[in-house]
């Protein structure tokens, strides 16, 4: 019986709540599909600070390294907000984890089912068939990681902070490999988003994308867009995009915008892949919902579990090669959130979403 070896890093606030639901779905899936779940839970984020004094303990890294994939919840929240910025869970756990495993390609599907267009702040007339786009975000470069990154007091007593946006051509080319493969599997349309009218890194980005695609992907329809315009176009007519690729910070912002036009942060799943292969010869990856820890609704049983469950489906697809099973989970989620009275109930923590009931509906549709 094939066994699925993955690390479970649930994290903080709603992290463990929605993780429990994803594991519940995976148990049923494993039983039906004759798979064996072989997962190890490990502490991360604020929970790990409280227990081990570090947001990303060495023991957690070891468990991740020994696994074929990481299923991640979410980290951070008010409880740790008073810590120095560099020690806060997001910066001390999630970012180093992405960097440690060189998970440079973040794939975020923006999906709104046509039955749920009411849940989007966009008028249904603009998105009669729902939304189906993909954001490919570079995840280990740019402003998040560039050096220098520091705050200093100047000789005149003023205080100055600096973040550095830096990209190498090779970093741009490797994210393009993911973007091209994703576009090829869909409508063969790729939009690269930058700020080449202002930023040096964007000038390099645009030139690299143009040259690389001309040589390696002449079959794709390639376009370029400035990020400010892209933010507007996403709100105006999201389906003009099919797959878009962009640097780390722009991707962070645009993917939140994408989540809200798709009705809910509670539906946004993501896969972060690198060059590393797991013991099956497939991409090692980290799979996480992109909605955060939602401290305001934690413990109430109303967090939307879909993003975590959809992230688990992405894990089965990319790191375990179980395309058919992943598609069946996605179909079960779709059926659960679009059927009958659930229509419109996908908002993050809307009281009408009962976490367990939502999962039960998904399981019964699998």
Q: Which residues are annotated as catalytic? A: 144, 195, 228, 252, 256
For residue 5, the minimal CB distance to Mn ion (Å) is 28
Total chain residues near Mn ion (CB under 5 A): 1
> Which one of Mn ion, ligand IPM, none interacts with residue 362, CB within 5 to 8 A by kind?
none
Taking CA atoms, 144 is separated from 54, 90, 170, 329, in Å, by: 20, 12, 17, 33
Question: Distance (Å, rounded) from C-alpha 79 to C-alpha 77?
Answer: 6
| CB-nearest residue to Mn ion | 252
Question: Distance (Å, rounded) from C-alpha 306 to C-alpha 116?
Answer: 14
**Both tokens assigned to 2:** 């094939």
Assess 138 for contact with ligand IPM (CB under 6 A).
no
For residue 41, the minimal CB distance to Mn ion (Å) is 24
Taking CA atoms, 366 is separated from 31, 147, 167, in Å, by: 12, 47, 43
**Segment near ligand IPM (CB under 6 A); pick from 30-38, 87-95, 306-314, 317-325:** 87-95
Binding mask 206-245 for ligand IPM (x = CB under 6 A): ----------------------------------------
| CB-nearest residue to ligand IPM | 90
For residue 196, the minimal CB distance to ligand IPM (Å) is 23
Whichever of 75 and 322 has its CB closer to Mn ion, that residue is 75
For residue 253, the minimal CB distance to Mn ion (Å) is 8
For residue 179, the minimal CB distance to ligand IPM (Å) is 18
Number of H helices, E strands in the chain: 12, 12
Assess 90 for contact with ligand IPM (CB under 6 A).
yes
**Segment near ligand IPM (CB under 6 A); pick from 6-14, 25-33, 88-96, 227-235:** 88-96
Q: What is the largest CA-CA distance in the chain?
A: 69
Enter the DSSP assignment of 110: E
Sign of CA dihedral 340, 341, 344, 345: negative
Whichever of 12 and 345 has its CB closer to ligand IPM, that residue is 12
With 0-12 / 13-18 / 19 or more C-beta atoms within 10 angstroms meaning exposed / middle / buried, residue 170 is exposed
**Segment near ligand IPM (CB under 6 A); pick from 79-87, 90-98, 230-238, 336-344:** 90-98
Binding mask 241-260 for Mn ion (x = CB under 5 A): -----------x--------
Assess 345 for contact with ligand IPM (CB under 6 A).
no
Which of 94, 204, 294, 326 forms a contact with ligand IPM (CB under 6 A)? 94
The answer to whether 255 and 292 are in contact (CB under 8 A) is no
CA atoms within 13 A on the CB side of 301: 3
Question: Distance (Å, rounded) from C-alpha 18 to C-alpha 304?
Answer: 7
Q: What are phi and psi of 193, to 5 degrees?
A: -115, 130
Q: What are phi and psi of 43, to 5 degrees?
A: -80, 140
For residue 95, the minimal CB distance to ligand IPM (Å) is 6
Residues 285-344 binding ligand IPM (CB under 6 A) are: 290
Task: Say whether 288 sits in a helix, a strand or coil.
Answer: coil
Assess 252 for contact with ligand IPM (CB under 6 A).
yes
| Contacting residues toward Mn ion, per CB under 5 A | 252
| Contacting residues toward ligand IPM, per CB under 6 A | 90, 94-95, 252, 290
């Amino acid at each position: 019986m094939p066994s699925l070896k993955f690390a479970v890093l649930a994290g903080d606030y709603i992290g463990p709540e929605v993780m429990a639901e994803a594991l519940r779905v995976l148990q049923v899936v494993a039983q039906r599909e004759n798979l064996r779940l072989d997962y190890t839970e490990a502490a991360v984020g604020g929970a790990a600070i409280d227990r081990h004094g570090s947001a990303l303990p060495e023991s957690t890294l070891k468990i991740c390294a020994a696994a074929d994939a990481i299923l991640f919840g979410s980290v951070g929240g008010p409880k740790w907000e008073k810590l120095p910025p560099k020690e806060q869970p997001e910066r001390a756990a999630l970012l180093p984890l992405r960097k440690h495993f060189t998970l440079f390609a973040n794939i975020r599907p923006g999906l709104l089912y046509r039955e749920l267009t009411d849940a989007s702040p966009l008028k249904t007339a603009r998105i009669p068939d729902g939304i189906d786009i993909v954001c490919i975000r570079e995840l280990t470069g740019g402003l998040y990681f560039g050096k220098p990154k520091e705050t200093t007091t100047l000789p005149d007593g003023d205080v100055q902070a600096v973040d550095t946006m830096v990209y190498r051509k090779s970093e741009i080319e490797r994210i393009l490999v993911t973007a091209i493969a994703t576009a090829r599997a869909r409508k063969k349309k790729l939009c690269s988003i930058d700020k080449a009218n202002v930023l040096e890194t964007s000038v390099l980005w645009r030139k690299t994308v143009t040259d690389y695609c001309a040589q390696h992907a002449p079959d794709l329809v390639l376009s370029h867009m400035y990020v400010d315009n892209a933010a507007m176009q996403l709100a105006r007519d999201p389906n003009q995009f099919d797959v878009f690729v962009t640097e780390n910070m722009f991707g962070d912002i645009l993917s939140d915008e994408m989540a809200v036009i798709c009705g809910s942060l509670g539906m946004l799943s993501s896969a972060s892949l690198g060059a590393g292969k797991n013991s099956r010869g497939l991409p090692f990856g980290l799979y996480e919902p992109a909605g955060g820890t939602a401290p305001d609704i934690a413990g109430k049983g109303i967090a939307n579990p879909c993003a975590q469950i959809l992230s688990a489906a992405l894990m089965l697809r990319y790191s375990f090669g179980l395309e058919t099973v992943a598609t069946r989970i996605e179909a079960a989620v779709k059926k659960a959130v679009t059927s009958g009275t659930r229509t419109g109930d996908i908002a993050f923590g809307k009281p009408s979403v009962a976490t367990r009931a939502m999962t039960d509906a998904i399981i019964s549709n699998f």
